[in-house]
Amino acid sequence: MEEPLIPVVLMSHTAHIRSHRKPRRTGSTTLAMRAGVAGGVLSMAAAGASASASAAEPVTQTLELPTLTADLAAQVAQSADATQQAAASYELQAERDAAAAAAAKEAKADLAEAKKKAEAKKKAAEAARKAAAERAARSTERTTLAADTTASAPASGSVGTVIAFLKAQLGDAYVMGATGPNAWDCSSLVQAAFKQVGVDLPRVSQDQSMAGTDVSLSNLQVGDILYWGGKGSAYHVGVYIGDGQYLDAANPSKGVVIQDLSGYPASGAVRVL
């Protein structure tokens, strides 16, 4: 009978030395690591989910924010409406105040204009009254002159000489201060005419109205000196030539002319011949 073979285990000379190499991972170890990694991942995911949940809580709380914002918007809108209404009220009041001020100003202007028109009407009425009085006075004088048919030259020829001289100057120019022979003013012409018969009259109208004897306008004779204005303050003179007419150096536009007393009645008369 053969002896059984005894296996011999050969060991390396370094087998007694503990190996410094990392032990190889076994399948169990790998599985455990993978489980750990998965667990870590799951833990991180859970933590992330928890953190996300924690972070999402404010979002969940802000779900009411639209409602709050809507309320705030409504309050802002109401405040804006109130502000707009107040502004409109102020604007309306300002417009009313401006309209009242404009109306007061216009009323004041209308009152001033009414007073001005009333004053103008008053002056016009006064002027019309004076004009009517003057027309009445002139009408009376015209009637008086028309009734005076006895005016005639005196027997002497002195008046004829005066009238002839005056008529010879008809058409000459009127120039203030001129003394002839081709230009005269009213008083220089009268003075020159009476000088022809030796009557020395003053140079100016005021003094000529004081010369000789006063004559009524209802008793005029040819050759009487007529004056306009007050006695001693006359502003114009001429000479009566009969038939309700007189001759004078009238003004720059007319010159020396014959005119009717009815158109421009004299204020008085004096007689020097």
**Rounded average pLDDT over 242-269:** 96
SS3 for 22? coil
Range from 73-77, 89-93, 226-230 carrying the lowest mean pLDDT: 73-77
Q: Where are the beta strands (DSSP E) in the chain?
A: 173-174, 183-184, 213-215, 225-228, 236-242, 245-249, 256-260, 268-271
Q: DSSP secondary structure string, 149-177? A: ------SSSHHHHHHHHHHHTTTPEE-TT
Q: What local confidence, expressed as pLDDT, does residue 109 receive?
A: 87
Contacting residues for 162 by C-beta, under 8 A, at least 6 apart: 193, 194, 196, 197, 223, 239, 273
Number of residues assigned to the chain: 273
In the predicted model, what is the mean pLDDT of the chain?
77
Name the DSSP class of 4.
P
Q: What local confidence, expressed as pLDDT, does residue 146 receive?
A: 44
| Separation CA 162–CA 159 (nearest Å) | 5
Residue 96 has pLDDT above 60, yes or no: yes
Residue 92 has pLDDT above 90, yes or no: no
Contacting residues for 146 by C-beta, under 8 A, at least 6 apart: 244
CA dihedral 193, 197, 200, 206 (to 10 degrees): -40
Residue 177 has pLDDT above 70, yes or no: yes
SS3 for 269? strand
**Rounded average pLDDT over 250-260:** 97
Range from 81-95, 171-185, 213-227 carrying the lowest mean pLDDT: 81-95
pTM (predicted TM-score): 0.45
Q: What local confidence, expressed as pLDDT, does residue 53 receive?
A: 46
Q: What local confidence, expressed as pLDDT, does residue 139 receive?
A: 52
Q: Report the chain's terminal Cα–Cα distance, integer Å.
A: 223
18 band by pLDDT with thresholds 50, 70 and 90 = low
Q: What local confidence, expressed as pLDDT, does residue 121 receive?
A: 83
35 band by pLDDT with thresholds 50, 70 and 90 = very low
